[in-house]
Chains A and B, each alone.
Chain A
Amino acid sequence: MKYEKSILLILLIIGVSFTSGCWNYREIDEMTIVSGVAIDYEDEKFVLTIESITPKGGQDVTMTSDLTTAEGATIFDAIRNLIMQTGRRVYWAHGKVIIISEEIARAGITPVLDYVTRDAEVRENMWLVLSKEKDAKSLLEGKDKMHDTISVHIDDMLQSQKSISKYNAVELWRFLDDLTADGISPTMPMAVLKTKRDAKIPLINGIAIFKRDRMVGELNGIEARSLLLTKGELKGGVIVVPNVGKTNTDITLEVFKSKTKVKPELIDGKLMMKIDVKLDVNIAEIKGTDDFISEKGRKVLQKEAEELVKMQIENTIKKVQKQWASDVFDFGGVVQREMPDYWKAHKNDWDKQFAGLIVKANAEINIRGSALTSKPIKVGE
């Protein structure tokens, strides 16, 4: 009797061990590791191009990347069709980028995003990039000297976004958050191919503006910076102030720190957004010999830079208001937080409200230093 019980217990433990826990045992070398994917839409079918990394060799390791293309009625269909070519299941957890063609973005991005958010393997921190090329696929066909894998190259560009600020870096979860939240429209960086000697390499510049899940327009690099600044997401980058003090000297300022305050106000029943921007900058480059480092020169520079930043912000917002009426600046969110009653009343026609917003920007620039030299280069006689 005693033995029977213990045998039963052992059988139970073995049974439970094998029927629970992580079931999908698989070896690392039996996977196709995806580093990036480009999604196109052709002939009413999704065309999926994956870039997979193939490590080779036991002692001397070399990495090569391969492109595989498959079609399918839906994204998941296309993914499973990939197996016909790769022979192995593809592994998504180490993917870096999702490149989406402009055609899909303009038609509505939801069908693409549903699968990638639903699937357990795809990570929500993959970058989203919009292809300005006709085929998103062609971006992955580019070549780069540094990396064999183009996805890694794009990953690098997006990682170092904060020191250029001419595009934003949007992770999948962020895009989804913006897409589903009230009072904000999502954005996405855009990539094009650039010919460099004979090779073509992908290059990211500008931001695509979405309205709901459809792409409606785009911003160039400087407008992109203003967008980031308005949202309080500017971490670095440079501001070129042209023709300072009418001396024909262009001065480049490097941004160290930015602080943005957006405050909605009601004036005569009309909503006004007050945007206060504070920037800590360094003089990074003076394209001339005039002294803008002394207190007097610095004041001139500061004033012109403030004026420039203010103008850029206002112009960018006006452009978006006028052309697309899509609130990519998160003004809706601000109103929702600061004036919940107003938001409740005007929630349903927010697009209209946004288009009619009065915007008043104000910039305050604090020039903290001039890097290593305290004088402009003086040319000797």
Chain B
Amino acid sequence: MFKKIKDILNIKNSEGSKIEKSQTLEESLKDNISTFKKIFAGNDLIVFRTIRNQHDDKLLFCMIYADGMTDKETIQDTVILPLIGAKVSSISLDDIKDTVIGSGNIEIDNRIDELVKSIIYGDSVLLMDGSPKALIIDTKGWEKRRISEPIGEAAVRGPREGFTESIQTNLTLIWRKIISPDLKMEYMEIGKRTKTKVCICYLQSLASDKIIEELKKRLNEIQIDGILESGYIESFVQDAPLSPFETMGSTERPDVVAANLLEGRIAVLCDGTPFVLTLPYLFMEYFQVNEDYYHNYLYSSFNRILRYFAFLFSTSIPAIYIALTTYHQEMIPTPLLLSISASRQGVPFPTVFEALAMGITFEILREAGTRLPKPIGQTVSIVGALVLGEAAVAARIVSAPIVIVTAITGITSLMLPKMLGALAIVRFSFIIISSFLGLYGYIFGVIGLFIHLISIRSFGIPYMLHLASINKEDVKDTIIRAPWWYMHYRPKLIGAKDPVRSGSKKLKKRG
């Protein structure tokens, strides 16, 4: 559907036909039709259907609509057939609107630019001979993908539905989770040419007014010709745009969005993509998975701790390995040192080169695997595992430990799928810095990383909120996932309007 809009718009603009804002309809149907034909010249998708009433020859109409954007049955049943067969006493557009056409959503307009816009959105425009006004009839209807389980965020336990490309569908999915008049949805239009519909969604009694205001301000400042995915909006709107870490979340799951809204966060939906943005987004959200909240709290806490370790391993293992084996051999236990030494005999490249080469190879395999169709994707992994793992070691091109190191790094990084990009960047910079500064350099890298993370804010909320705290309430949804009946408060600052989430009314507001 999206491509179609784009096609239409492109063709329209390439023709160079400009609509003046003040231009309005004429009385003559012929003139009007020729005006529209001029505007839509070269676009064969636009249908001009002329209709004559069977009882009155003077009743002439013209339907203009875009083929494929509209529902043919609706047009036929609610507009064309009634118009042909209607017996009308007076020739007035209002009468036609009120008595003949059986569509739920009709408007009257005479501005040509508005009418053109409606046609592009999938509505039909009904022109009538002798009337300087036209009807805009809601006949939108196009092929949509059905609601299916999101591929990117599979869950063992949890709702199976995921967002689709249609913003209306997505909004209803959220609405069905939070049935409350408190849920606000505000439309905006972004993109000079694509006019993409964007919707800000929040719970009024929870979300911070200041953040909403700031978000709207930033959204209004966007100057771009087209928005094709919510990533466009993200890169315009988010804080710390140069950082590899995201300060806005994106998800395909309505339950995740609903949970975010209930914590006082704000969602930004964008037409044409199943990815919904949430904000403010904190560092610890990388480690929180929707399933955590559905499973037993012990299991969830365990998984969450595993993810923290995954972060440590994925960023640090190659760097520490290089630092130890090339600078601090005395820190390796003797038997391990000997076996590393044995496996490195005859390997021609320095350890740093090995680590970088294997790391890049892994990234190549990952990238190749994601872009390929599923059946070929498996071939890639087999070739990757066998050729690059076994054969490279057997041929003494790389040593066995570095293959293990790369494998651990790779597997653990897959535990944090949303952070893959940031992890790779951090990992490679750690490798490089520790290759010429040893552990000393690695520690510098870690300090640098933390300084960076702590300095980031997402819409005014510190990125590392709760993580530097050992306060009982702060730990409940960070390091571990406390049972729901024990997790009394919403995240600090974000849910400040109404901090108590569950439990008795006696709980005090926290300062």
The chain A residues found within 8 Å of chain B, CB to CB, are 17-18, 20-22, 24-29, 31, 33, 35, 53, 55-59, 61-63, 91, 93-94, 96, 121, 123
Contact = CB atoms under 8 A, between A and B. Distances in A.
Given A59-B393, A63-B342, A94-B330, A28 B337 contact: yes
Interface in B412-453: 433, 435-441
Contacts of A33: 337-338, 341
Interface stretch (B182-190, B307-315, B346-354, B470-478): B346-354
B204 interface: no
B345 A94 contact: no
A55 B345 contact: yes
Contacts of A18: 436
Nearest to B325: A28
B223 interface: no
Contacts of B394: 58-59
Given A17-B436, A94-B334, A24 B327 contact: yes
A17 B438 CA distance: 11
A57 to B, nearest CB: 6
Given A24-B327, A93-B329, A58 B341 contact: no
Interface string B343-385: 1111100110000000000000000000000000000000000
Interface residues of B, number: 33
Interface string B389-422: 0000110100110000000000000000000000
Contacts of A28: 325-326, 329, 337, 340-341, 344, 351
Given A21-B436, A25-B326, A57 B344 contact: no
A27 B344 contact: yes
Interface string B193-212: 00000000000000000000
Contact of A29 (B345, B438, B439): B345
A29 B433 CA distance: 22
Given A17-B433, A25-B327, 19 more contacts: A21-B441, A22-B328, A22-B440, A22-B441, A25-B326, A27-B351, A28-B340, A28-B341, A28-B344, A31-B329, A33-B337, A55-B342, A56-B345, A57-B345, A58-B394, A59-B400, A61-B338, A93-B329, A94-B334
Contact of A21 (B338, B396, B399, B440): B440
Contacts of B350: 27
Contacts of B351: 27-28
Nearest to B399: A58
B76 interface: no
Nearest to A93: B330
A53 to B, nearest CB: 6
A35 B441 CA distance: 29
B332 to A, nearest CB: 8
Interface in B242-264: none
B26 to A, nearest CB: 59
A20 B433 CA distance: 12
Interface in B315-341: 325-330, 334, 337-341
A167 B433 CA distance: 48
A29 B346 CA distance: 8
Interface-central residue, A18, A53, A58, by most chain B CB under 10 Å: A58
A58 B396 contact: yes
A17 B437 contact: yes
21 contacts: A22-B441, A25-B327, A28-B326, A28-B329, A28-B337, A28-B341, A29-B345, A33-B341, A55-B345, A56-B345, A57-B342, A58-B342, A58-B343, A58-B345, A58-B393, A58-B400, A59-B343, A59-B400, A63-B342, A94-B329, A94-B330
Interface of A is mostly: loop
A28 B437 CA distance: 16
Interface-central residue, B329, B435, B440, by most chain A CB under 10 Å: B329
A59 B229 CA distance: 50
B76 to A, nearest CB: 66
Interface-central residue, A26, A28, A96, by most chain B CB under 10 Å: A28
A126 to B, nearest CB: 12
Contacts of A59: 343, 393-394, 400
Nearest to B432: A17
A22 B330 contact: no
Contact of B330 (A25, A62, A63, A123): A123
Given A17-B436, A27-B351, A55 B330 contact: no
A120 to B, nearest CB: 10
Contacts of A123: 330
A246 B89 CA distance: 141
A27 B326 contact: yes
A345 B452 CA distance: 63
B337 A94 contact: yes
A276 to B, nearest CB: 41
Contacts of B326: 25-28
B232 to A, nearest CB: 29
A55 B341 contact: yes
Interface-central residue, B327, B338, B393, B433, by most chain A CB under 10 Å: B338
Nearest to A91: B329
B338 A63 contact: yes
Contacts of B436: 17-18, 21, 25
A363 to B, nearest CB: 40
Nearest to B435: A25
A58 B440 contact: no
A57 B339 CA distance: 10
Nearest to B339: A61
Given A17-B436, A27-B350, A55 B329 contact: no
Interface in B219-250: none
B168 to A, nearest CB: 49
A173 to B, nearest CB: 15
Nearest to B352: A25
Nearest to B433: A17
Contact of B342 (A17, A35, A56): A56
A29 B402 CA distance: 14
Nearest to A26: B326
Nearest to B328: A22
A31 B345 contact: no
Contacts of B399: 58
A18 B439 CA distance: 14
A121 B325 contact: no
